[in-house]
Amino acid sequence: MGEGLPKVAAKVPAVLELEPGTYWWCSCGLSSKQPFCDGAHKVCELRPLKLEVTAAGKQALCQCKLTKKPPFCDGGHCAL
């Protein structure tokens, strides 16, 4: 992982059924609880992104960390 660059955690999105609440999306790719933060970012300058879910439903969360619409998958993994 280069300085300021995230680690690719997976080349596919995490499609999850999320309940309303606050989630922290891992932006560094180092978390062992992908796509969510576990505090592993403490060794780099990248920080998690707060995700507020207001209604239950399926979400496709980026795991390649290349999305232009964080935390949501935009197909950026297709370029890997």
pLDDT (tens digit, 9 = 90+) per residue, 25-74?
A: 999 999 999 999 999 999 899 999 999 999 999 999 999 999 999 999 99
Q: Residues 24, 36: contact at Cβ < 8 Å?
A: yes
Q: Which pLDDT does position 55 carry in this prediction?
A: 98
pTM listed for this prediction: 0.91
* Total Cβ atoms within 10 A of residue 1: 14
- Which tokens sit at 4? 């300021």
Mean pLDDT throughout 2-24? 92
- pLDDT at residue 5 in the model: 83
